Each structure stands twice: as structure tokens, then as C-alpha cells.
């Protein structure tokens, strides 16, 4: 992994910081129940997530700090999405409560496992996690705008599998690492 140590102010890191700065905006919009503005700001946040990874690779500006900023941005953005669902679309939240609970539990479990084993937040960015993140955005929009839940529920099931993979990665590793493609690529390196 190439690392850019010269500056923490890289385009990818700034995009991740933007996403982190948008979290309180999302939470405020959710609190005042402005669904249209919430979804608009969420689009910007989700695009910044896609772009930070793209620019990190394209500009050779990957770093452990960037991976951690991205992971924190993911966690807080998804938290804001859940709050948005709860405050803006409470009927949808109630209908999906079991799936939302599964999402939260299977998001927290790998984090707690890595914190226990390594004392730090994991930033694996597996292919599965990236695919789930890409699928979660349209699934969320389809859920709240069209009240169609099948796609959302399928993405949650994929998320559960991805979380199990992240726990397996933590179990196998002897030290923390970032940007692990999959449990299978990891096994090949050990």
C-alpha cells in the first residue's frame, strides 16, 4: 500500500472530513423532519464516500489515516441514516425494525471484536463491505421513497455475511491492518 506521509490534507482525507462534517447536518435535518433536504445532503455525503476512495487510489494518496477517517465517516453516516429513518419515516422504521436491529448488531460486533483484540477501530474496507455500501444507498432510497423493502432486506442480509467475514479477518490477524480485500486474500498472505 502506497502511503502519502507529506500531508494529511489530501483530497481523499478532505472528502472524508466533509462527510464527517455532514453528519451533524444530517442529524439536524432528521430532527426537524425535513426528508427532502435530508436525502439531498445524504446524496452529497454518499458521493464523497465514493470519491474519496477513487481519488485515494488514483492519486496514490492512500494512508492508514485516510482509511480510518473513511471508516468513521461510514459509521457516523449510517448512524445518521438510521436516525433519519426513525425521525422522518417512523412507519417505515417500525416495519423494518428487525432488519435495522440486525444491521446495528452486525455493524457493532466486528468493531467490538477488533477493539477487544487490537484496541482500535477496524478499517478493513473489504470488497464485500464496499459492495454493501454501494448497494445500501439505493436500497435506502427505494425503501423511503417507494416504500419497497425487498431490496433493503437483501442488502441487510449481505451486510450480515460481510460482518461475519470481518470477524473472521479479525480472528485470523495477529495485528491490526487496513484495506484487507477479503478473508481469502488475507489467508494467502499469511
**Residue 162 sits in the same domain as residue 137:** yes
**Residue 153 sits in the same domain as residue 105:** yes
3-state secondary structure of 101: helix
Question: pLDDT (tens digit, 9 = 90+) per residue, 89-147?
Answer: 999 999 999 999 999 999 999 999 999 999 998 889 899 998 998 899 999 999 999 99
Enclosing domain of residue 20 = 1-88
Tell me the C-alpha distance between 188 and 118, whole Å: 21
pLDDT of residue 3: 45
Question: pLDDT (tens digit, 9 = 90+) per residue, 139-173?
Answer: 999 999 999 999 999 999 999 999 999 999 999 99
**Residue 7 sits in the same domain as residue 63:** yes
Average pLDDT score, the chain: 92
**Residue 13 sits in the same domain as residue 83:** yes
* 87 φ, ψ (degrees, to nearest 5): -85, -40
Which residue, 55, 69, 71, is CA-closest to 123? 71
Q: Residue 63 — very low, low, confident or very high, per pLDDT cuts 50/70/90?
A: confident
Tell me the C-alpha distance between 78 and 59, whole Å: 27
Domain termination site, one of 48, 72, 88: 88
**Residue 73 sits in the same domain as residue 111:** no
**Residue 80 sits in the same domain as residue 103:** no
pLDDT of residue 125: 87
**Residue 183 sits in the same domain as residue 160:** yes
pLDDT exceeds cutoff 70 at 188: no
3-state secondary structure of 178: strand
pLDDT of residue 62: 86
**Residue 69 sits in the same domain as residue 152:** no
Which residue, 65, 87, 82, is CA-closest to 4? 65
**Residue 102 sits in the same domain as residue 181:** yes
The number of distinct structural domains making up the chain is 2
Domain termination site, one of 88, 119, 139: 88
**Residue 48 sits in the same domain as residue 104:** no
Amino acid at each position: 500500500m502506497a502511503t502519502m506521509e507529506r500531508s494529511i490534507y489530501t483530497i481523499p482525507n478532505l472528502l472524508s472530513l466533509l462527510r464527517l462534517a455532514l453528519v451533524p447536518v444530517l442529524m439536524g435535518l432528521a430532527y426537524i423532519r425535513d426528508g427532502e433536504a435530508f436525502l439531498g445532503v445524504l446524496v452529497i455525503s454518499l458521493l464523497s464516500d465514493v470519491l474519496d476512495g477513487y481519488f485515494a487510489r488514483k492519486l496514490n494518496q492512500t494512508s492508514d489515516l485516510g482509511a480510518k477517517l473513511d471508516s468513521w465517516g461510514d459509521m457516523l453516516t449510517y448512524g445518521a441514516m438510521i436516525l433519519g429513518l426513525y425521525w422522518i419515516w417512523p412507519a417505515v422504521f417500525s416495519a423494518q425494525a428487525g432488519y435495522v436491529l440486525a444491521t446495528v448488531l452486525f455493524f457493532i460486533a466486528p468493531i467490538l471484536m477488533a477493539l477487544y483484540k487490537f484496541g482500535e477501530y477496524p478499517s478493513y474496507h473489504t470488497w464485500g463491505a464496499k459492495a454493501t455500501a454501494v448497494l445500501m444507498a439505493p436500497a435506502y432510497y427505494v425503501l423511503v421513497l417507494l416504500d419497497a423493502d425487498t431490496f433493503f432486506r437483501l442488502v441487510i442480509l449481505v451486510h450480515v455475511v460481510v460482518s461475519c467475514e470481518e470477524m473472521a479477518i479479525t480472528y485470523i490477524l495477529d495485528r491490526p491492518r487496513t484495506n484487507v480485500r477479503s478473508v481469502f486474500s488475507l489467508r494467502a498472505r499469511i
